[in-house]
Amino acid sequence: MKKADIELQFNWIFVLIVGTVILAFFIGVVMKQKGFAEQKTGVQLSADLETITTGAEVSKGTAQIIKVPQLGIEFRSEDCLRRYSIGGGTKQYREKIIFAPGLIKGNEILAWTMDWNVPYRVTNFLFLTSPQMRYILIDLSGANELAFQVNKSLPNEMYRELVTNPNSIINNRNYKVRLAYFSALPSQIVVPDELQSVNDKDLTAVNIVSSTPYKTGTLTFYEKKGSSFQPVGQTYILGILSIYGAIFTDDYEMYNCNMKEAFKKMNFVTTIIQNRTNVLYNDVAICMDEYYLSFMPLQTIAAESSILMSIFPVSSQARVDSLYNAAFVELESSNRNLQLQSCPELY
């Protein structure tokens, strides 16, 4: 081979190497700029989401679809420091009670807000999800009243269905699937045949056990491990909105941390109700006996909520039942009697 030919080949190899280096450099610059742009957008959207959630939170009793860029919104909790992240932007939310899946994908968010009353109004619960996430309510008996009520009450914009046979479920390739069993036995919490291929992190379940009037009961959270569900932990119900929260939230810790914040607000509002009751007891002599009967249940609610805001879930259901009886039985009865006697009500 001639020297000139060797030099020509070497020159072409050199050109290719240099061209590749230059191309890689510009691709790197573009990707870096893209990353910076997404991070900047994420930071801005995190701030915007604060405004969005605040607006949705005060629009109680309504469901709405909110348009967002397709960056994905992640919700997570570590030691009850609850945060949401969009792109490179992360924001902690302290006082809001937001029940949401770990990831919301797509360019739309479904936001639904409801009052949490126990029995007086404590706060608003905000439920967020994606219309692309699939929720399957499973009533194995075919006659569970709570399953029927929940299916009827959830927003129409929510991608959900009520089934009696898990193996009738078809895999529609949703990015996340949440199963909600109603009063199933542990052995009945199974991964449906068609959903066996779904990634473990994208398929979760909860078993809801509650008897009428659906204000107390237990919730057992499950995560998929291969071909079966494994229990993550058990927690408790106080009011039907906490059942909705367990359906929207696919993370055990996130659910409990939201409820701890709710009990914190309950404790604060109860203190206000107690002060009001003391004033009425001293000022409205004709109704003094009924106000006096309200002191004990209010003290119980204050004491139990103080404990639950710190260590929810507790080791047994006794404290939740104690709070339920004080609030929904004793205090509600006193308030109703005051109303019948044309006395100023407690709430």
- 160 with 68, same domain: the answer is no
- Among 131, 159, 183, give the residue marking a domain's end: 131
Per the omega criterion (within 30 degrees of 0), is the bond before 119 cis?
A: yes
Assigned domain for 242 exists = yes
Predicted pLDDT of residue 93: 86
- 125 with 137, same domain: the answer is no
- Among 200, 228, 250, give the residue marking a domain's end: 250
| 3-state secondary structure labels for all residues of 199-257 | CHHHEEEEEEECCCCCCEEEEEEEEEECCEEEEEEEEEEECHHHHHHHHHCCCHHHHHH
- Among 131, 156, 174, give the residue marking a domain's end: 131
Contact (Cβ atoms closer than 8 angstroms) between residue 170 and residue 196: no
Contact (Cβ atoms closer than 8 angstroms) between residue 111 and residue 73: no
- 117 with 177, same domain: the answer is no
Structural domain for 113, as ranges: 1-131
State which amino acid sits at residue 155.
P
Predicted pLDDT of residue 53: 66
Predicted pLDDT of residue 62: 80
pLDDT in tens for each of the 347 residues of the chain? Answer: 555 555 555 555 655 665 565 665 545 544 444 444 444 444 455 556 676 667 656 666 788 998 888 888 999 999 999 999 887 778 888 789 999 999 999 999 999 999 999 999 999 999 999 999 999 999 999 999 999 999 999 999 999 999 999 999 999 999 999 999 999 999 999 999 999 999 999 999 999 999 878 889 999 999 999 999 999 999 999 999 999 999 999 999 999 999 999 999 999 999 999 999 999 999 988 999 999 999 999 999 999 999 999 999 999 899 999 999 999 999 999 999 999 999 999 99
Contact (Cβ atoms closer than 8 angstroms) between residue 103 and residue 72: yes
